[in-house]
Structure 1
């Protein structure tokens, strides 16, 4: 799996340009690995590529649906372990007793029903990668055993009398604040520091808006489908609380609803609250004052939208609506583009 980096799209664009941009993305969609068009994503992926070539334990953090599993697979494929197994386990999906047996293995007769020995995922991964997702949900007793395994590079299977060495590299991921959990006694602080030798923090999709259209093109690759300008504008304006997972689900549903026609904003079924927070139609003089305020805020914050929105006392979503509205007015668009140059 290779990383897919792309040049970020222009910050301000009219509907026709938006349609042309997405058509070009659909004609040559990102095919592999994490999609990175936003500057923040490109920087993170560059760090990940360097970390992949090491043997360091990596902790991937970020909200649910942001793509932590995709990042883990990229780290494996970009490492010198790419030809060895990649094994993944969701620590929140199984009871404690089953987790212990799956991770560390067991000997024959170790418990009722154990009619044969099992190596456990640490050893089954061989010289490859073991990815522990939702590591924050690992029960405390198993956290102690995991810490011992990381420190000693060996495990003790259930029912065994002697430890066994393992070669696999460990990756972990969580959507929780493990430092806060450690302070509250819900997660071992020593384990946290052992896991986060090289932390990688994935941002919510709303904070990397330049990734939205390339991700949509990636998710729609191979499909004969078009998105209307209204649909593209809705994708960009939405806050994406469910992140990439929500984007994938909305696009899949929209394809079904659209049938052979183009996907519109109605097919995406994005809540009306997103549109309700957009700008109110303003007369010409007020629009000019608004454009001036947006220009000053962007200039003072170096073009960083999140900080500009905070400076203006509005949400980042509302700022995106206002910028899109101003982009259709050549004089205002030129002024705004200069503020972000």
Structure 2
């Protein structure tokens, strides 16, 4: 595990934050390719590196100059915002982004698996980053300089799937005006990702099993087997043992693929990933939304603590894909602003505290209007959500005598999340009585 390369002056000024980020980043990124420095340092960059410049200030800011330089200003080196911003700035275009212990343990295991050639089956709901994990395994493997071919088994016509996987000879069927090597031969020496493997027709599963066992393919129209050297990673968003029991997936193919299973949990169950992912998506999309300080650089609005609290409290039925929708929407709504505040956060579906609309026995209040009903003024979705959550939080705090730790336990959230939510309520102009918040833990 490589350590961060930083100068003594950078360590003196930004050491606490870099130490926190370094413990995470060394397992996810090529940290030797990153040049860390204080914003005032104008010495020459190390060759073939991307630069992250750091500064301390009262307000968090981000900007990006081209693809190779990101500048951050942070207020609190031990806060969630500073760590999330730095992890997002450090990540390359193909790098995974994670901070939650659950996710980091999966990537640590994936790095150990990368050194071998055994098949890997990645399970998890749609939108959780299964292809990102697969690319990470390939990038850390001895096959990293060979092809990575991703095949979505649900996106190809069933009639063409065999030819696209195994190849075909010229004239093998109507329309085959030229020979094709197929995806398996295209991945020779590298990695083949079979995404949504549960959608593969039963008629092809036996042929795929033989190809994987023998490491050879027979193109359509040919009688000669062609050897291939392919490492296979399969992804499934449905429970394959259930599919096997139902007769929709071959048991022998399942056991061939399931040599080492990895599972990605839903985003709501790895909440520490949300902030760094949100900042990374803001960096990626800010320029496309019209935000920018000058033609050569672009400013990126930063999430306030209240906005991050809203993101952490959402249930994320669409996982990372939904988070990207929310970030892009927030960037559009915050055009001209330096920060993304709670009023800029609009979810794909009604937001609620994770798990249930009833918390600590308290009803969360009236639901948003049904589709088609007019919603205006204070009846906007964000306002409804904030006030119903605020009522539940304030009533619980009052019942607990202002003790935040007890209230957080009653609400089923962490004390840190409760603090973030209280900050969000203050930013949104929701008054909180002194008796409700008290001063104790």
TM range (shorter): 0.7 to 0.9
Flag the structure with more relative contact order, 1 or 2, with Cα contacts below 8 A and sequence separation at least 6. Answer: 1
Residue 258 of structure 1: CA displacement? 1.1
Correspondence for 1:213: 275
Alpha-carbon spacing, 1:329–1:236, altered in 2? closer, same or farther (3 Å): farther
DSSP 3-state at the match of 1:281: helix
Q: Higher helix proportion, which one? A: 1
The RMSD of aligned alpha carbons is: 3.0
| 1:168 has 2:225 as partner | no
Provide, for residues 44-77 of structure 1, a one-character-per-residue CA deviation record: whole Å limited to 9, x for no partner: 1110000111001111111111001111111110
CA distance in 2, matches of 1:125, 1:265: 46
Change (3 A) 1:226 1:319: closer
Q: How does 1:1-341 map to 2 (within 5 A)?
A: 3-4=28-29, 21-23=80-82, 25-27=84-86, 29-32=89-92, 33-221=95-283, 223=286, 224=299, 225-261=301-337, 262-270=339-347, 271-274=349-352, 275=385, 276=388, 279-282=392-395, 286-288=399-401, 293=406, 322=418, 324=420, 331-332=440-441
Superposed displacement of residue 230, structure 1? 2.4
Q: What is the CA-CA distance between 1:290 and the residue it aligns to?
A: 6.8
Structure with greater Cα Rg = 2
SS of alignment partner, residue 118 of structure 2: coil
Aligned partner of residue 234 in structure 2, secondary structure = strand
Aligned partners of 2:396 and 2:407 also within 8 Å: no
- Cα distance in 1, alignment partners of residues 150 and 302 from structure 2: 35
Q: Distance in 2 between matches of 1:165 and 1:253?
A: 48
Aligned length: 306
* Secondary structure of 1:191 counterpart: helix
Gaps spanning 5+ residues in structure 2: where?
A: 1-25, 32-74, 287-298, 353-384, 424-436
CA distance in 1, matches of 2:194, 2:413: 34
Cα separation, partners in 2 of 1:91 and 1:283, compared to 1, 3 Å: closer
1:159–1:319 distance in 2 versus 1, CA, 3 Å:
farther
Distance 1:111 1:317 in 2: 60
Q: C-alpha distance in 1, partners of 2:220/2:147? A: 23
Aligned counterparts of 1:20 and 1:27: Cα–Cα separation in 2: 11
SS at match of 2:235: strand
1:30–1:217 Cα contact (<8 Å) kept: no
Higher normalized strand content (fraction of residues)? 2
